Amino acid sequence: MNRVAPTDAPIQELLSKRWSPYAFDPERTVAAEDLHALFEAARWMMSSYNAQPWRYIVGTRDGSPEIRDRIFNVLLEGNQPWARNAPVLALGIVQHNFEHNGKPNKAAVHDLGAASAGLTFEAAARGLAVHQMIGIDPDKARETFELADGLEAFTGLAIGYPGEASMIPDEYAQRDRQPRERKALAEIILAGSIG
């Protein structure tokens, strides 16, 4: 199945090939060196005042299955039927206050998103896929992982190799089969001109 984005202007192939499948191949593990590279990419992303307000909790089926199971149990019910096949599950954690002065970091969530985007593009370059999800229970995550004050579980990430739609319930398989669509540029550029 062709999942390349139908862009209106040429963009880097890596960006147009990146997508968030629901179907992950449960038989293929993610090599440790690949997983290390994904989080190294996240580590080097930009952040306000270089605060790097992102943290991750990572569970792998073959290396840390108990952590993976605990992450799985933090996912909302609607994400569990498809995410169960992903060999790696992670939580994206945001640190809401700056370490250097304790003041609120209004860019913290943005910066977690940037770090996770870097991770996602590194995954795409390695033939892996990442499906990010807001559908987690932050309070359950706080309790499950005994998160310190000022840290909040904000997103979940399923990481692995894309699988076949037949591996997941049909309602999710249908989503994987839908054409890729985005809002038109005219809808997201509110003022000014991009030529």
**pLDDT of amino acid 43:** 98
Q: Is 70 in contact with 129 (CB distance < 8 Å)?
A: no
**pLDDT of amino acid 194:** 86
**pLDDT of amino acid 107:** 98
**pTM exceeding 0.75:** yes
Q: How far apart are the C-alpha atoms of 5 and 149, rounded to whole Å?
A: 40
Quote the radius of gyration of the chain (alpha carbons, Å): 17
Structure tokens at 157: 């990430």
Domain extent for 152: 30-161
Flag whether 81 is in a domain. yes
pLDDT tens figures, 39-69: 999 999 999 999 999 999 999 999 999 999 9
**pLDDT of amino acid 180:** 86
**pLDDT of amino acid 168:** 95
Q: How far apart are the C-alpha atoms of 96 and 81, rounded to whole Å?
A: 31
- CATH value at residue 103: 3.40.109.10
Handedness of CA 45, 47, 50, 56 (dihedral sign): negative
pLDDT tens figures, 91-129: 999 999 999 999 999 999 999 999 999 999 999 999 999
Flag whether 96 is in a domain. yes
Tell me what the pLDDT averaged over the chain comes to: 95
Flag whether 47 is in a domain. yes
Element (H, E) at 132: strand 129-133
